[in-house]
């Protein structure tokens, strides 16, 4: 199945107070995966998010 996937970093509470908004760390892309979980794992294990603070990263997935 095809999935569209992207990733953003969420600002900390302090940054939100200062007006900082979420930032895109992975532009939307289409991938083939068995299900949504497999799509996320492909991105995370594939090193697409290396160097990111994974505690603040949110991966967004939707069927294409």
Mean pLDDT by 10 residues, the chain (64 residues): 95 90 93 94 86 89 91
The pLDDT score that the predictor gives to residue 3 is 97
**Three-state SS at 6:** strand
Tokens of 32: 């083939």
pTM above the 0.85 mark? no
Name the one residue in this structure whose structure tokens are 């760390």. 25
The pLDDT score that the predictor gives to residue 59 is 93
The pLDDT score that the predictor gives to residue 52 is 83
How far is it, in rounded angstroms, from Cα 54 to Cα 52?
6
The pLDDT score that the predictor gives to residue 51 is 84
């Amino acid at each position: 199945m095809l999935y569209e996937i992207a990733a953003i970093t969420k600002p900390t509470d302090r940054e939100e107070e200062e007006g900082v908004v979420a930032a895109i760390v992975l532009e939307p892309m289409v991938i083939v995966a068995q299900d949504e979980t497999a799509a996320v794992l492909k991105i995370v294990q594939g090193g697409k998010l290396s160097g990111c603070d994974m505690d603040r990263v949110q991966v967004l997935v939707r069927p294409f």
